[in-house]
Amino acid sequence: MKFLGRLLICLFVFAPLMANGASTTTTYSMKVAVSMPSGTAGASLASTEPTNTKLSPCVAGKVDAVTFSLTYNADNPADKDVYVFLFNPNANGGSPQFYMLKKGSLTSPMSVTARMTAADIVAASDMYLPVADNPGGTITETLLGGSILLIGAPTGTWQLVGIVADNTAIDFNDPTTWNAWDAGTVMIGLPWVGTGSLSTCP
C-alpha cells in the first residue's frame, strides 16, 4: 500500500509537468576540442613551450597537424542552424579573417568560403549544417575525418568556432543571439604572424 501511495503521489506531481512539455526542454549545445595527433610536432612539447594553448611549433623535419572535433546539438528534431568556421585574429590588410566551413555530402566535399570580416558573413548560406540537413540530436564528428595538415598555413593564433543559432536571428557581433557556442584555439609557430622563414609553417 505504501508503494501504491507513493506512485500515486508521483503521478499527481509529475503528470502536469509532462503534459506542459517540461520533459522535452531543449538543450542546445556546442563543444569544440583541439588535439595534436601522436607523432606530430605539437604532440610532445618541451617544458619550456606553451601549455595553456595547443601549439604546433613548425619544426623542420616533423609533421605539423591538428585535429578539430565537434559535439553539438541543435535539438531533435533540429530547429536551429549550425555554423563552423576558422577565425584568424591576426589577419589584416587584404587577408580574410573568417573561413566558413560547409559540411560535405556523398557527392560534394566540404567547402570553405572566405569572408573578410564578421559583417561579411552571409547567415542564410554560410552555415555548416542547415536545419534541413540536420538529422537531429547530439552529433559528434571530427572535421575532415582526421588530422589537418598545417603546412603552408600563416603562423599565429587560429580559432575554430562553432555556433548553434537561427539564421534569421543571428548577429555575428552579438553572442546573445547564439543559442550555444564554443571556440578552440591553436597556435601555429608563434603567437602572431611572423616574417621571413616563419611567415608560414614550413
Enumerate the domain spans of the chain: 26-198
- State if pTM tops 0.95: no
Q: Supply the pLDDT for residue 163.
A: 98
Counting beta carbons within 10 angstroms of the beta carbon of residue 176, is it exposed (0 to 12), middle (13 to 18) or buried (19 or more)?
A: exposed
Cα distances (angstroms) measured from residue 49 to each of 46, 52, 191: 5, 10, 12
Provide block-wise average pLDDT over 10 residues at a time, the chain (202 residues). 48 43 70 96 94 92 95 97 95 87 91 95 98 96 93 94 98 98 96 88 90
Over its C-alpha atoms, the chain yields an Rg (Å, rounded) of: 22
Do 74 and 131 contact (CB within 8 A), yes or no?
A: yes
Whether residue 130 has a cis bond before it, omega within 30° of 0: no
End-to-end distance of the chain based on CA atoms, in angstroms? 76
